[in-house]
Structure 1
Amino acid sequence: MRVSFIGYGSMAESLSSRWVGKHELFIAGRDPNKAQSLASRLAQGTKAGSPQEAVEFGEVIILATPHEAVFEALEASGGSNAFANKILLDINNPVEPSNGDYLTKSYHGVSLSEAIAAYSPKAKVVKAFNMCQAKVWQMQPPTFDGRLLVTLYCGDDAQAKRQVASLIEDVGSEPVDLGELKYARLLEAAAAIVIKLLFSGRNPYTVLNLIQPEIKPIS
């Protein structure tokens, strides 16, 4: 799969490092030097370039900017029509880190993911990877109390969700489909809980995991 990142911060680095050698990767962002630096650290043929080139390259475009920069990044990447038939993977949360406030008012009461879908209606928007700090995605595999981390995801396009589920499996996590994109509102609110705990001084490996009694822990 061809996977492009718009953004080169800790989340982009953690996720891309787990997909090196499994997928073709492209790193882009506002600062081309920082994009190239991450691509060089990943090695193994990882490309770097402009946001527009990243969109042209990728089947899956991962929005890995701060939440307040998402729409600026979308514009810099070519605007609404540039993402037609692309999978736009939103890993972000409209949350104020200092107090955990979930900023739904910024998007007229809907989730950030739904606002992205409204901006680019021909894109296939999926929400995933938003509920953990970057260090969690560096774990091989992400395991807590003997159980794999469950990664909840949602979206309106079935094929796009299957591709995202395979990316989740490739970081060693267990994908669970929550349903339509409207459920991103729940994922973002749940992430706000984790973010509030992290900014209160909790360990960066603090997570909310879905315990499924029918699935036995890893022995």
Structure 2
Amino acid sequence: MNIGVIGAGNMGLALATIWSKAGHAVCLSFARDPAALQQQAAALPGAHAGTPAEAARFGEVLLLAVPYPALAEALAGVAEAVAGKPVLSCVSGLLPDFAGNTIGLPTARTESVAEELARLLPTAHVVEAFNTTFAEVLQAPDRHFGELNPSLLYCGDDDAAKTVAGQLIAEAGYQPLDVGPLRQARSLETLASVWVQLAAATGLFPQAGLRILTR
């Protein structure tokens, strides 16, 4: 499928690399260095560089992987092009403390970034995904931790969009786990912040993964 990626940082580039190697066509966009963006896209099979609006038009599905302060800039000209499409978001408005000293402190936010995105892109189908893993794990040759692969929790309000998300999560080497409607992104984004802090405080960061075990 055609995948538009907005955000060519560690997360966006790592996922673009995985998906392009899996046979998907990728349009990579939104980087500080346009020349580097062109080089990064040229190094991937079936990939090209573009603007966020071009990535949104190109993709049958879109990944949004940008810092929260850059959200408005990244979404410029995107809304119309994503009508009816799945938009996967790993954007978080929380600020993990890499010293591990702020676990459990409250935030001033009253909604998740994913819910905010759903308001900003009302005709898109937003799915919260990929915020409970580290870019370094995505950059590794595979997602194996011994005999297990990490779980990847995701949520959204549209079943078809979540089916696409689950497929892409599995192709990236994770155990997909649907945790319900988009409102659950409030928990997932908080979990992501706590996970970073715990991994840093225990010395496990960045080569660590979450796994949900069931009987």
Which TM-score applies when normalising by structure 2? Answer: 0.88
1:36 to 35, 38, 45: 38
1:8 alignment partner in structure 2: 8
Q: Which amino acid aligns with 1:115?
A: E
Report the Cα distance in structure 1 between the residues aligned to 2:15 and 2:188, rounded to whole angstroms: 19
1:1-54: CA deviation from partner (whole Å, max 9, x where unpaired): 111111111101211111124211111115432321220222x23111111111
RMSD, aligned CA:
2.0
Residues 127-179 of structure 1: CA distance to partner in whole angstroms, max 9, x if unpaired?
11111110112344323352221111111111111111110111121111111
Conserved 8 A contact 2:24-2:46: no
Question: Match for residue 207 of structure 1?
Answer: 209
1:72 equivalent in structure 2: 73
CA deviation vs aligned residue, 1:100-147 (integer Å, no higher than 9, x gap): 6788534xx011000100111111100111111101123443233522
Residue 47 (structure 2) pairs with residue 51 (structure 1): no
- Aligned partner letter, 1:184: A
**Across the two proteins, how many residue pairs are aligned to each other?**
208
* TM-score (normalised: structure 1): 0.86
198-207 or 123-132, larger mean C-alpha shift: 198-207
1:160-218 deviation line (CA, Å, top 9, x unaligned):
111111101111211111111111111111101112134445430223321123xxxxx
* Match status 1:105 vs 2:108: yes
- What is the rounded CA distance, in whole Å, between the counterparts of 1:193 and 1:73 in structure 2? 26
* 1:139-218 mapped onto 2 (5 Å cutoff): 139-200=140-201, 201-213=203-215
**CA distance in structure 2 between the aligned counterparts of 1:33 and 1:148, rounded to whole angstroms:** 35
Mapped partners of 2:167, 2:106: distance in 1: 30
Aligned counterparts, 1:78-117, within 5 A: 78-98=77-97, 99=102, 105-106=108-109, 109-117=110-118
Mean Cα displacement is larger for which, 179-188 or 79-88?
A: 79-88
2: CA distance between counterparts of 1:90 and 1:65? 9
